[in-house]
Amino acid sequence: MAGPLPLRTLARRAHHFAEAVAALVLAVIFVGFLIQIVFRYAFNFPVGWTSDLAVAAWLWLVLWGAAFVLKDDDEIRLDLLSNAVGRRARIGMGIVGALAIVVLFAMSLPAAYDYISFMKVERSSYLKVRFDWMYSIYLVFSVAVIARYLWKLAFLLRGREPPSLYGTQYRSSS
């Protein structure tokens, strides 16, 4: 029997799963658009539920992707200043940035939870999906961002730039 999988292998498998979920949600959006086009132009019978589906799926795709699919190198950064300073200053800037993100997202969690819980009284127009279910992905996204930046902070506080779990470098190459 094989021993436990290394963290990097688990991270890669989780990342592949997250990519597959994002691809599936994108396929749902695409099929919904095709259904809407066919019904509207071939049968002269516009259907509204496809708009509800597209909005909900797009919301989930963007936040799921930002939480679990995007790698550090995929994010847009204005790293002109951090690339112009030395390693210690860059680590210090990383600590300040990571702390700010963790604190601000953690502070916003109770209010986000309250608002999302309140939205159970509203439903989407055609599919009648409760908005608390639809917007619950924001809480998942927020917790994932907090976890990611706590992980980065743990490395930065030890004076090391965090490696990527997916095999790419943390520091930009430009």
Q: Is the dihedral of CA 145, 147, 150, 154 positive or negative?
A: negative
pLDDT at 135: 94
pLDDT digits (tens, 9 = 90+) for 4-54: 668 778 888 988 999 999 999 999 999 999 999 999 999 999 898 999 999
pLDDT digits (tens, 9 = 90+) for 148-169: 999 999 999 998 887 765 544 4
pLDDT at 174: 42
pLDDT band at 71 (very low <50, low <70, confident <90, very high): confident
pLDDT digits (tens, 9 = 90+) for 76-115: 777 778 788 888 888 898 899 999 999 999 999 999 999 9
Angle at 107 between CA 14 and CA 79, to 5 degrees: 65
Q: How far apart are the first and last CA of the chain?
A: 44
Question: What DSSP letter does each residue of 4-16 carry, written as one string?
Answer: PPPHHHHHHHHHH
pTM of this structure: 0.82
Q: Position of tokens 């989407």?
A: 124
What mean pLDDT, rounded, does the chain reach?
87
pLDDT at 172: 45
pLDDT band at 58 (very low <50, low <70, confident <90, very high): very high
- Please state the domain extents for the chain: 7-157
Could you tell me how many residues make up the chain? 174
* Long-range contacts of residues 130-137, Cβ cutoff 8 Å, at least 24 apart: 134/56, 134/59, 135/59, 137/59, 137/60, 137/63, 137/64
Extract the runs of DSSP E, i.e. beta strands, from 64-152. none
